[in-house]
Amino acid sequence: MSTMAGEGARIAKAPLDSMTARQKRMERYGYLFISPWLLGFFAFTFIPIAASIFLSFSRYSVLRPPEFIGLTNYRYALLGGDRLMWPSIGRSFRYAVFMVPLALTGSLLVAILLNQKVKGIAYWRTFYFLPTLTPGVASAILWGWLLNPELGLVNYLIGGLGLPTPRWFASPQWALPGIILIGMWGSVGGGSMIIFLAGLQDIPVELVEAADIDGAGRLRKFWNITLPILSPVIFFNLIIGIIGALRVFETAFVATRGGPARATWFISLHIYATAFEYFDFGYAAALAWVLVVIIVSMTVLQFRLAKSWVFYQGA
């Protein structure tokens, strides 16, 4: 039976000048079918990205045409003119340093728990995944109430144990841990956990059985089999986690507006305020590209370091 997929595979293999009329027609159909996505990609992703490169070298407030000013925006950002930028980046890194390991470890542990053969496991998996389905804004508002220093449930419980109650978003010292707590709630049982779960189910049974025969204990099996085989998955989640953490925005925007005293003024918030509150879109575009360069550099560094600890089966 001839299928579209089979036809597509033949077209992909055929050199352009040797394609039959039918193959060429099928190719045109292919482009036709993906054209809605292509149009959306160009209109809403590619062109804005390209425009933002140009805008980063401009003075632009939306209210008048962009004016090319060369490297002025980048000089202002990188050479200390903007006294908020580097501290904002520092805060984003501080958030990432705590958030990424906690979220990775938490979601791996939850994935291991949800990989057990126990009754009702499908319900448990659903239960743990539910927080991820809550929109970030809604969860930030919810946690804003829970962490209210005076009326919140969290401090009510902590106080009930006779412990000192943090001031959370009213305190510069406790605001960042509060934001991390919200982030953890949304990410421990989220996409990372699902990917870990898939990775765990992909571990060859024969390796585990061989280890059992050799008398290996649970910890030894975890350390010598599970972790090495999961390492590509851990690496993937690490990369995604770092990128996500450095872009932290909505929880801080809703819960603290960057305060108190700029304790949660992350770089994404700085970019947002510059663009949408101060209408300095040109400079905001430059800040965004500085963030892109930092994230790409971090990712390249991770790929280099990965050679020493990521194990690919069959590689």
Partner 1 sequence: MDLLSLVASNTLGDIVWFPPRMRNHISWGVLYNIVVDHMPFVEAENYDLGQFFPGVVASSTFQGRLYWMPFRNEGTQPVIGYHIPLAEELGMPEPHDDFTFDELIEWAKIGTQGDVWGYAMRGRGFNAWAAELKQFGVEVIDDEGVTAFPGNSVENMKKAMRYSWDLSYTHEVAPKPEHGSTSELWFAQRVVAISMNVGNMTAWPIQANVDQSDVGFFYPPVENKGDRRRSNLNEHVHGVTRSSKHPEDAWTWLKWHSSKEFNVGGILSGMVGAVGRPDVFADPRVQEAMPHYAKLAAIMPDIEPDWFALNYRGAELETESNVVMEQVMLGDLTIDQAAPLLAEECQLILDRPPA
Q: Which of 42, 46, 278, 309 binds partner 1 (CB under 8 A)?
A: 278
Closest distance between partner 1 and the C-beta of residue 61, in Å?
4
User: In what helix (H) or strand (E) does residue 67 lie, and over which residues does it extend?
Assistant: strand 67-68
Contact pick of 19, 29, 51, 59 for partner 1 (by CB under 8 A): 59
CB-based burial, 112-133: b 16+ in 10 Å, e otherwise:
bebbeeeeeeeeebeebbeebe
- Look up tokens 């990128």; give the residue: 243
**Cβ of residue 151: shortest distance to partner 1, in angstroms?**
9
Q: Which span sits near partner 1 by CB under 8 A: 126-134, 165-173, 181-189, 296-304?
A: 165-173
Q: Which is nearer to partner 1, 238 or 287 (CB)?
A: 287
Q: What is the Cα–Cα distance from 308 to 315, expressed in whole angstroms?
A: 14
Q: Output the CA angle 42-48-50, nearest 5 degrees.
A: 90
CB of 72 to partner 1, least distance (A): 9
Query: Is residue 156 at the binding interface for partner 1, with CB under 8 A as the rule?
Result: no
DSSP state of 42: I
Name the residue nearer to partner 1 (CB basis): 192 or 274: 274
Give the Cα separation of 253 and 275 in Å (integer).
14
Sequence-separated (6 or more) residues with CB below 8 Å from residue 166: 149, 155, 158, 174, 177, 178
Which 8-state DSSP code applies to residue 20?
-
Stretch that binds partner 1, among 103-111, 147-155, 190-198, 235-243 (CB under 8 A): 147-155
Asked if 75 is part of the footprint of partner 1 (rule: CB under 8 A), the reply reads no
* Residues 166-225 within binding reach of partner 1 (CB under 8 A): 167, 169-172
Q: With binding defined as CB under 8 A, does residue 260 bind partner 1?
A: yes
Residues with Cβ < 8 Å from 65, sequence gap 6 or more?
none
Applying CB under 8 A, among 106, 149, 177, 232 the residue interacting with partner 1 is: 149
Cβ at position 259, least distance to partner 1 in Å: 6
Packing angle, helices 191-201 and 85-113, rounded to 10: 40
**Element at 56 (helix H, strand E):** none
Number of amino acids touching partner 1 (CB under 8 A): 28
Q: Which stretch binds partner 1 (CB under 8 A): 47-55, 115-123, 202-210, 276-284?
A: 276-284
Q: At what angle do helices 172-187 and 136-146 cross, to 10 degrees?
A: 130
Shortest distance, position 293 Cβ to partner 1, whole Å: 23
* Residues 13-52, mask of contacts with partner 1 (x by CB under 8 A): ----------------------------------------
Q: What are the strands, taking DSSP E only, across 69-130?
A: none
Min dist CB 280 to partner 1, Å, is 4
Q: Applying CB under 8 A, which residues contact partner 1?
A: 59-64, 83, 148-150, 167, 169-172, 259-262, 273, 276-283
